Structure 1
Amino acid sequence: MSGHGAAIPMSSRPCGPLSGTAEVPGDKSISHRSFILGALCVGETRITGLLEGQDVLDTGRAMRAFGAEVTRHDNGEWSVHGVGVGGFAEPGNVIDCGNSGTGVRLIMGAMATTPITATFTGDASLNGRPMGRVTDPLALFGVQAHGRSGGRLPMTIVGAPEASGVEYTVPVPSAQVKSAVLLAALNARGETRVIEREATRDHTERMLAGFGADISVDTTEAGRVITLQGQPELRPQAITVPRDPSSAAFPVCAALIVPGSDVLVPGIGLNPTRAGLFTTLREMGADLTYENEREEGGEPVADLRARFSPDMKGIAVPPERAASMIDEYPILSVVAAFAEGRTEMRGVKELRVKESDRIDAMAQGLRANGVEVEEGEDWWIVTGRGPDGVPGGATCAARLDHRIAMSFLILGMAAETAVSIDDAGPIATSFPIFEGLMGGLGAKLERSAD
């Protein structure tokens, strides 16, 4: 079953060349943060290009529950009338964050240093994922968290009154953990320092600075040190959300493996903390170019052109690149199946605790479709079969995970025979126009009866 209704089985058949322009939705990370930071201002924040996927809409509903006014206008823009730092009201009901680990963890941080209590839940996938990685550092502010065994949802967070700033070193690379601590620090007295040994996506730091927070970032021997002064008055902003590089990965990778394809994906955010996949694909020999490079809203942006690339070779992806492409390893493993040689992906333990165990999900599904995969606790290796050598033919479990579902549908576009998934419903959480967009490029996606 989907987390949001009945299961939607879907199959993807081998197709002719993909061509055209793929206008993917807005960046999910920035969309989440736009709602949350808008709610922490006094005044109106206007947002254009917001990703209207289920995950982000759940975050918007949560901000309403905390007292902000969140409105969608007829022209597709959104506005948030915020309540200010420390101004969250206690919600009257349980906050349902659906499938979104990013949403729930950032919201926990945003309310953690306000003396209110809130209870969070989600779908079956989210309720099985660990929250201790966020609630442990929030406890340094005096926050109390009461959840199920293993630090799982449903969970009640009791906000800390009169919190003071903390110093925290992030133990493993995680933008969610870093961001939750920084959002909690907004309503804490004094200075908070967050140290990350490996850089992760920095949208929170960039956006906090844009909203007027007193924040600085320094590179030291200890790592990347982010210093935030608490209790600022954030200024409302006009935000244009760039298109999501994680969503762009799917039409880009499909074009690389489907013979004869030539696809343009315009306006993609190329923040260096997010662009690791595209760097990796080019190292593999992909015909992937950046056109019309520019800057929008403080973020680097370009149009991506991807063409069929029959000569790609497997590589060893540097482990230190993992933080900049952690969500893209499933679709990379699909591309690796059509390359020559072995593609090694290491330092990716975080994939075990995403919406699903993504290493296991991809390994099982690729094997079922005739691809050799080796795996360990924090690594897996795909042995490619070349541009026309993947048999396909299997039905794969999506495991309530949007990226797993889309990855196997892309596999089916270039395999010898169709590939099916048991449930395409979770795709709506991040890429609600996936089916129509890929169909418009020439993909052959079909919904089927149970």
Structure 2
Amino acid sequence: MTHPLPQPLDVVARGPLTGSIAVPGDKSISHRALMFASLAVGTSRITGLLEGEDVLATAAAMRAMGATIERQDDGIWVVDGVGVGGLLQPATALEMGNSGTSTRLLMGLVSSHPITCTFTGDASLSGRPMGRVIEPLSQMGADIAASPGGKLPLMVRGICPAVPITYTLPVASAQVKSAILLAGLNTPGITTVIEPVATRDHSERMLTGFGAQLTVEETDQGRVISITGEAELTPQDIVVPGDPSSSAFWLVAASIVPGSDIVVRNVGLNPTRIGIVTALRMMGADITELDPRTVGGEPVADLRVRHAALTAIEVPADLAPSMIDEYPVLFVAAAFASGTTVARGAHELRVKESDRITTMRIALEACGVACEEFEDGMAITGSGGAAIRGGARVASKLDHRIAMSMVVAGLGSAEPITIDDISPVATSYPVFFRSLDALTGKGE
């Protein structure tokens, strides 16, 4: 896949953020809604699906394997599934673009079906290791041939019946957990995943909603999740809550820009996803939950955020799994706090769309922020609420979260920050800049 031409952007301070916005649908839930609906027998409807490039890659892959997936004029997506065990041999390679979630979860699905799939991706995705997914799926009997380093392009030859396993996650990863559970859907017997550190539980919640036999037990070893194959999934109507990872950019932006007062509507507050809210509140952020409610089995609320003086903290390492995607923008919040924030326990940042630790350190240092890099995180000495220097050109490294995080940094910089390429933002948040304009009064 060829990446589009770079789209550089100069970000300048715009003054306070005010008003209210809704963030796009949760990316993790959107991926899973499409996959599980495609494995149900009958028609499912999905409201609020994130229509970013990553999720559209999942939709295209499920179509290629036999599901009928259509977007109606009212924005509701209608999915007619093929049933567990009914995936068809795709005619061509599955193009994953930039989506690691699509790749790892679909590898799991394919592994227990009698089909062979080749997975390809863009330059960023092709540089990300898949070994931690290959290992357990190979134990289940799948034959996986990867490029050197366990990277894309790779080929998965599924096996049916696959072998049920009990697997302890060596590193906290919801994607690896989900890949194993999805392989277990079409595997006779009980497939078990043990996670010593809890990760986001959207797969467990949604699989249960679709009718899978799934149990979750808290033990001294950690959470033990077991799924019974060969499952029969029943179609569902799903409402996707707003993505907490997307809302994080606005929580930080409003916190650091004086005079800001915003409401971010319909934010999913799954306990396994809101580490960023916890961390920001520890730093002194003014975040209030309005109208808490349950949508599609997930806790949701509107979040009011007002500018506040942030104070440095030592981020608890056990928060890492519940905010792993939000570390780049947390680093930005730390750049404006008083004192030195230490954030560790985030080894997984090294193998995201970019090496998010090194990439953010280089970007922040270029903008005048003092940073110290560790293998699993960073220490960042903040400005005490004053504007950071800015005035630098920074690299997004084809990483949507790096690009958006540095846009937020630019809103509090004395001099413009030039981001070399903002095109990756479309993978997860296509209307990000429209929302920015709305909150800063720059829209029509």
Structures share fold, TM-score greater than 0.5: yes
Secondary structure at 2:5's aligned position in 1?
A: coil
1:221 deviates by: 0.7
Q: Which residue of 1 aligns with 2:408?
A: 410
Distance 1:317 1:335 in 2: 12
Q: Which residue of 1 aligns with 2:185?
A: 186
Q: Which residue of 1 aligns with 2:53?
A: 54
Q: Which residue of 1 aligns with 2:323?
A: 325
1:285 deviates by: 0.3
Q: Which residue of 1 aligns with 2:350?
A: 352
Secondary structure at 2:62's aligned position in 1?
A: helix
Over residues 300-325 of structure 1, what are the superposed CA-to-partner deviations in whole Å (9 max), with x where a residue is unaligned? 1110011111x210100110110000
Over residues 117-137 of structure 1, what are the superposed CA-to-partner deviations in whole Å (9 max), with x where a residue is unaligned? 000000000001001110110
Contact 1:3–1:99 (CA<8 Å) still a contact in 2? Answer: no
Distance 2:395 2:423 in 1: 12
Distance 1:277 1:6 in 2: 32
TM-score, normalisation: structure 2: 0.98
Q: Which residue of 1 aligns with 2:199?
A: 200
Contact 2:43–2:79 (CA<8 Å) still a contact in 1? Answer: yes
Q: Which residue of 2 aligns with 1:134?
A: 133
Distance 1:119 1:144 in 2: 12
Secondary structure at 1:290's aligned position in 2?
A: strand
Distance 1:146 1:406 in 2: 35
Q: Which residue of 1 aligns with 2:79?
A: 80
1:389 deviates by: 3.7
Q: Which residue of 2 aligns with 1:448?
A: none
Q: Which residue of 1 aligns with 2:220?
A: 221
Secondary structure at 2:389's aligned position in 1?
A: coil
Q: Which residue of 1 aligns with 2:263?
A: 264
Q: Which residue of 2 aligns with 1:372?
A: 370
Q: Which residue of 1 aligns with 2:337?
A: 339
Q: Which residue of 2 aligns with 1:151?
A: 150
Contact 2:160–2:187 (CA<8 Å) still a contact in 1? Answer: no
Secondary structure at 2:425's aligned position in 1?
A: helix
1:166 deviates by: 0.9
1:6-405 → structure 2 map (5 Å cutoff): 6-309=5-308, 311-405=309-403
Distance 1:382 1:360 in 2: 13
Counterpart code for 1:265: V
Of structures 1 and 2, the one with the larger relative CO (CA 8 A, separation 6+) is 1
The unaligned stretches of length 5 or more in structure 2 are none
TM-score, normalisation: structure 1: 0.97
1:41 deviates by: 0.7
Contact 1:330–1:403 (CA<8 Å) still a contact in 2? Answer: yes
Secondary structure at 2:415's aligned position in 1?
A: coil
Contact 1:10–1:422 (CA<8 Å) still a contact in 2? Answer: yes
Over residues 81-127 of structure 1, what are the superposed CA-to-partner deviations in whole Å (9 max), with x where a residue is unaligned? 11000110010001000000011101111111001100000000000
Counterpart code for 2:84: V
Counterpart code for 1:79: V
Relative to structure 1, is the Cα distance of residues 443 and 174 closer, same or farther in structure 2, using a 3 angstrom cutoff? Answer: farther
Distance 2:401 2:94 in 1: 24
Distance 2:370 2:29 in 1: 36
